[in-house]
Structure formats: C-alpha cells, structure tokens
Structure 1
Amino acid sequence: MIVLVPAWSPTSSLLLLLLLSPSLRGSPDCSFTHSPISSTFTSNIRKLSNYLLQDYPVTMASNLQDEDFCSALWRLVLAQRWMEQLKTVAGLDLQNLLEKVNTEIYFVTSCSFQPLPSCLRFVQTNISHLLQDTSEQLLALEPWITRRNFSRCLELQCQPDPPTLLPPRSPGALEGTEPPASQSYLLLLLLLLLPTALMVLAAIWCLCWLRTRRRLPHPRELVPPTPSPQDVLLVEC
C-alpha cells in the first residue's frame, strides 16, 4: 500500500524507515524482531485528538473475537484504515496529524491479513473513542510485539452469534403441534373405547328405566272403583 505524505517531512522519513528496514518490517509469518511501536504514539494520538471534533462520527467493530493479542492487532488494522480514509477528506494541517498517527500503526500493513470477514458488525462511535482505543491497543501490544508470532492472527474472527431461544408455548399450542403418529394413536384408542362406552351408557339407561317402571302404579290402579247402590244411598243421606 502506498502512503502519500509531504516530501522531506520527519513523518515521511519515519514512514520510509518502517517500510524499508528489514528489522522493523513484519516477516511473512507476521512476527517482529524489533518493536515497530515508537515511544511517541501517545503524544501523536493526543495531538490529533485535541485537533479533531470529539464527536466526529466513525465506526468500530462490535463483534471481534477476543483472541488475546490478535484482538489488539485486529483493532489496529481497522483503525489504520480509518486514518487512511480520513486523510482523503482532511486539510493539509490535519493530514499531517493524521499521518503521524497513521505512521504509529502502519506496521500492521506488513502482515498479510485476509479480507475482512462478512460477519463483522460495525457500530457508530466518535473519533475520540477510536483514538483512545488505538492508544490502548498499542499500549497492550508494546511489551509483547517482539515476543509473539502473530501468524494465527492473519484472519479476523467474529464472535459467534448467541443462540436464538424459542419463546415458551402455551399447553394449547403444544397440543396443536403433536406429531401425526401421536394423533393416530389417540384416534385408534378412541375407536376401541367407543363401543364399551356405548354399552355402559345403554346399561345405565336400562337400569334407570326399570326403576322408573317400578315406581309408577298400574293403569288399573288409577281407575276409581264403581260405587255400589248402598254407598250411593249413604252418601245421599
């Protein structure tokens, strides 16, 4: 990647040193024999932060995998891309400040990172948060940059998505989703029990009918007896 900087500036000299010095460039397996992190990164980041609008909108990855020192390196990769993009829309003075910060983190381009994965999700934040995070990642990497081999960090990894929990279903919903085998079994059981249930109902009806018949008087008992002539005379008297 070619970085355009003002000719003969101190920043240009430092950038050229990082690009051409074999001791400072990352090897193909992404390791460093000499630290590419300078002692001036905090000062350069602070100067840029003081010059920029604190609420200038940028984006940061929200779901990078937390892989020890790989995560710090990945965040610097994304921050370096922002420095390159901001330089294209900044004035000359601001370009110089951006280039100084870009020089501090440009060493990440010496490792052959894979293209950004499609699973990365970005959230909007402001430039002050991005610069603060950049300073924190450099500080975290500084004591380990020459002791670690970062070859396993060449592909940015996303955090796995949390499992989707199904909402609880009501008993009615559970009954409505019974598999066909269970429904056939219940239908067969109902058909087997139906004749027995009908017989029981018929027996109960017969018993009730017999009990009712026993309580009712015979029709002949309901006709009053014909009075004799003597009874009629007694009544008339």
Structure 2
Amino acid sequence: MTWCHAPPDPQSLPSASVAPLLLLLLLLALAPPGQGCIFEHDPFSTTLTRDIEELTQLLLLDYPVLLPSNLEPDLWCYDFWVIHFVAAELRHMEQVAGRSLNPKIQTVARQIHFLQDCNISDPLGCTRQGQTNVSQLLGALSYHMGELETRWQQEPWPVTMSNCTYVRCRTDTPDPTSEMASLPALTYSRQKQERTLVSRASPQTGGLVLLILVPTLLCLGFTLWQLQQRLWRQRTQVPEEMGT
C-alpha cells in the first residue's frame, strides 16, 4: 500500500514561524537606547532674569502655588526636575491669568520650553507637592536655571539628560514645608555623586549592552529554530513509517 500525503502545511515549516521571531528579536536588540532629551546647542536665554523681574512686579507675591518637596537631590537631575515642575505651574497660571498678565507668564514659560521635548514623567507617582507662594516659585526658577546653565557649560556638547526623564524621589519623609522655606542649598555625598556619574554614563554603554544582547538573542533564536525543526522532522517521519 502506498500512502500519498500532501507536503506539510507551510505555516508549520520552521522558516515560516521562527524567521519573524528572529527578526523581531534582532530589531529589539538593535534598537538604539533612548535618544530623547539631548541638547545640541545652548538653550538658555540671556533675558530670563529680566523677564522674571517684570513678571514679579505684576503678581500678588503670596499667590499660592505647588512645588514638589521630596525630589531626590541628584547632582545632575535635581535642577532639571525642579524647573520641570515650575513649568507645569506656569502653564496652570496661564490658564487663569488675565489678558495683561498672561503675556508676561508666557514670556517666562518660553524660556524653559526646551524641557518639553524630554517628556519628563513620574512613573511611580512618588512626588509629594508642597504649597509655597509664587515669589518663591520664581526665585526657585531663577536659581535652578542658573545652576543648570553653569553645569551644562562645563560639559561638552551635546548634553544628554536622558537619565533624568523619570523623576525620582527621596525615600525618607521630610517635613513637606521644609524645602519651601528657602531656596535649596544642595549638598551631595560622595556616594550620591558616584551614583549620578554612573547614571550619566549609562547612555554611552549602550554599545556594550548590544554586543552582549545581540549574540544572546541570536543563540536563543537558533536554539528555538533547531527545536522546532526537530519536532517537524518527527511529525513527517510518522506518516513515512506508516506507509512502509
């Protein structure tokens, strides 16, 4: 008796099911690390101090606003995070300000608009907001913009802030009003500085990660391909043995 059987379903062939998986793994491995929040040129304005002073003259200085009170005092990211939250408060002020005040707020807000491309977020929802007044808010903006500009000028361009796109918070529980009493005078331990330096170096280590990750994924894909090929051969051998 001769058995006639059709060739295996093309979907069961190893190349049909494994090839897309290998391609997907390879694309994921070769995808470059986060490239956002990189600044090619100096984004700082020379008129910020003047614009803040003009805005301050039109404001009720006891107008209540919010600023986070528990940000992690990271040497590289702290100023960046504070400016981000100040920008959020300025956007809120724009929505409630009158016609005469709104242009002044927009003028200051444009000075820090460069942060928008970074999509800074608080994925853990860990920030705790503390109430302060608008004069303190604008003072914090002036102070932290100055600190950030000084630090960036000491770095080679482009400057990357990719490791600052996720806000981090302190693990202790300070008094929510303690950081609102005066402009921050940050101090950093050696351990904090070393951690930050490692954090900043992380985008540069992307090539090393790829060198390790790509061969690993390729080996995994090849192993899966061998396993599926072996199972396919076993399925095709059963009808042949029955035919004999």
TM-score by length of 2: 0.53
Structure ranking higher on relative contact order (CA contacts 8 Å, 6+ apart): 2
Residue 198 of structure 1: aligned partner: none
Partner residue in 1 for 2:140: 133
Distance, in Å, in 2 between the alignment partners of 1:162 and 1:111 is 28
The residue type paired with residue 110 of structure 1 is D
Structure 2 residue aligned with 1:159: 170
Q: Within 2, Cα distance between the matches of 1:158 and 1:136?
A: 20
Cα deviation, residue 116, structure 1: 5.5
Q: Which stretches in structure 2 are left out of the alignment for 5+ residues?
A: 1-33, 175-244
Residue 163 of structure 2 aligns with an amino acid whose one-letter code is R
Structure 1 residue runs of 5 or longer lacking an equivalent are 1-26, 164-237
**Cα offsets for 1:49-90 (capped at 9, x unmatched):** 111000000011100000113010101110111111111111
Which of 130, 142, 150 is residue 161 of structure 2 equivalent to? 150
The answer to whether residue 52 in structure 2 is matched with residue 45 in structure 1 is yes
Contact 1:44/1:100 (<8 A) preserved:
yes
Structure 2 counterpart of 1:33: 40
Computing the radius of gyration from Cα coordinates, the structure with the larger value is: 1
CA deviation string 1:80-102 (max 9, x = no partner): 11111111111111100000110
Q: Secondary structure at the match of 1:44?
A: helix
Distance 2:170 2:100 in 1: 39
Does 141-150 or 66-75 show the bigger shift? 141-150
How many correspondences in the alignment?
A: 137
Q: CA distance change for structure 1 residues 76 and 162 in 2, over 3 Å: closer, same or farther?
A: closer
Counterpart position of 2:80: 73
Give, in whole Å, the separation in 2 of the partners of 1:28 and 1:83: 27
The answer to whether the 8 Å contact 1:54/1:127 transfers is yes
Q: How does 1:56-67 map to 2 (within 5 A)?
A: 56-67=63-74
Query: Could you tell me which amino acid in structure 2 is paired with residue 136 of structure 1?
Result: Y
Q: Give the superposed CA RMSD.
A: 1.9
Matches within 5 A, 1:147-226: 147=155, 148-161=159-172
Query: 1:28 offset after TM fit, Å?
Result: 3.5
Q: Note if 1:106 corresponds to 2:113.
A: yes
| Identity within the alignment, % | 32
TM-aligned CA distance change 1:162 to 1:55, over 3 Å: closer
Structure 1 residues 116 and 55: CA distance shift in structure 2, 3 A: farther
